[in-house]
Amino acid sequence: MRHLPLLLIALIATPAFAQPPEGGRLFISPSGEPFRGGEGREAWFARADADHDGALTLAEFRADAMGFFKVLDANGDGKIDGFENQAYETRIAPEITRMSFPGEGGGERHGPPMGGDNDASHIPRGGGGPDSGRRPSGGPQHGAPREGAARYGLLNEPQPVRGADADLDWKVTAEEWAKAAGKRFAILDADGDGKLTLATLPAPPMGPRPPR
């Protein structure tokens, strides 16, 4: 290892090259919470469905999102700052920062096409830097491979924490988080009946293959 160039060592150590933990497929909830080692979509839904009636209301969906907000807001000051977002990207869900490579499974889809009803790419993005998490003005291309958290979740949103930063001040308040949850619920509630069920939710993409 000491013979490798220092730059190569640094690159290998960065989160972009972090490999997903062992133990099954990763699922990332609409709020960005990772579920590992099994049927993650079902596990998230069962926990969020507080009254266990088989349907998620906006109130239940938002309450589940606010629960994860408290996890991310490590110092309890009511906002997710740059350091807490960095902890999300490096410790909580490092897979979302891993590079995509041509031919990976991240482009495989099992729900509506990119830019369809489950496209959250229009939600404003801010956070880690002036251009972090933002898409080109043209938006996502139809059929293009998903990026970041979108490779593992129900929405086409590469970074759910930055995606909630509506005023682009690099901090996410509880109010912004709750509003983002409402927008995400509306995207997933394709038939507009005010509830989500497992039968009506899109299946997440297969996700990328572990890097060699």
Of 38-52, 153-167, 193-207, the poorest mean pLDDT is in 193-207
DSSP states of 114-134 as a string?
Answer: TTSTT--TTS---SSSTTTTP
pLDDT tens-digit series, residues 6-28: 333 333 333 333 344 444 589 99
Instruction: For residue 89, tell me if it sits in a domain.
Output: yes
Instruction: For residue 15, tell me if it sits in a domain.
Output: no
* DSSP H or E stretch at residue 62: helix 58-72
* DSSP H or E stretch at residue 68: helix 58-72
Instruction: For residue 7, tell me if it sits in a domain.
Output: no
pLDDT tens-digit series, residues 99-139: 764 444 443 333 333 234 455 544 444 433 333 343 333 33
The dihedral over CA atoms of 164, 169, 174, 179, expressed in degrees to the nearest 10, equals -40
pLDDT tens-digit series, residues 170-189: 999 999 999 999 999 999 99
* Total count of domains within the chain: 1
Q: Which residue range is the domain that position 62 belongs to?
A: 26-196
Give the pLDDT of residue 121: 47
Please give the C-alpha separations between residue 99 and each of 103, 120, 172, in angstroms, as whole numbers.
12, 21, 25
Q: What percent of the chain has pLDDT over 70?
A: 64
